[in-house]
Amino acid sequence: MATRTIAGKNVEVNEEGFMTNPVEWTKEIAVELANEEGVGELTAAHWKIIDYARDTAMKNGGAAPTLRNITTNAGVTTKELFALFPKGPAKKVARVAGLGKPEGCV
């Protein structure tokens, strides 16, 4: 497993750059990853989705939620999710939230 320094903290990442230990995640790391992903400044709407993804993952053995799960249960439409996390929102949400790649993402 590789390590990487994000927001001044060394964290474990896989070959695709996803964090492998969600416990190492911090909000500062999320901000830096969001900038890397082209998401920009994280608003309250972003944090609502990030918090939902982390809560869901902790209840489901660490598995990041899928796009359908997020849009069905987090109170956000698909259009809104794509506006907040453009070009692959489920994957970007998982990465920014310090989770692994969601099942079904290519």
What is the chain's Cα-based Rg? 13
Residue whose entry in the numeric block shows the structure tokens 């608003």: 43
Give the number of domains in the chain. Answer: 1
Asked if residue 102 is part of any domain, the answer here is no
- Domain assignment present for residue 17? The answer is yes
Q: What is the pLDDT of residues 23-49, one digit of tens each?
A: 999 999 999 999 999 999 999 999 999
User: Could you tell me if residue 103 is inside a domain?
Assistant: no
pLDDT for position 33: 97
Q: Is 37 a domain residue?
A: yes
Q: What is the pLDDT of residue 105?
A: 54
Does residue 105 lie within any of the structural domains?
no
DSSP label at 74?
S
Q: Quote the CA–CA distance of 31 and 49 in Å, as a whole number.
A: 14
45-84, pLDDT tens digit by residue?
999 999 999 999 999 888 999 999 999 999 999 999 999 9
Q: Which residues contact 17 (CB under 8 A, 6 or more apart)?
A: 4, 95
Domain carrying residue 56: 2-96
Is the pLDDT assigned to residue 1 strictly greater than 80?
no
Q: Is residue 48 part of a domain?
A: yes
What pTM, to 2 d.p., does this model score? 0.93
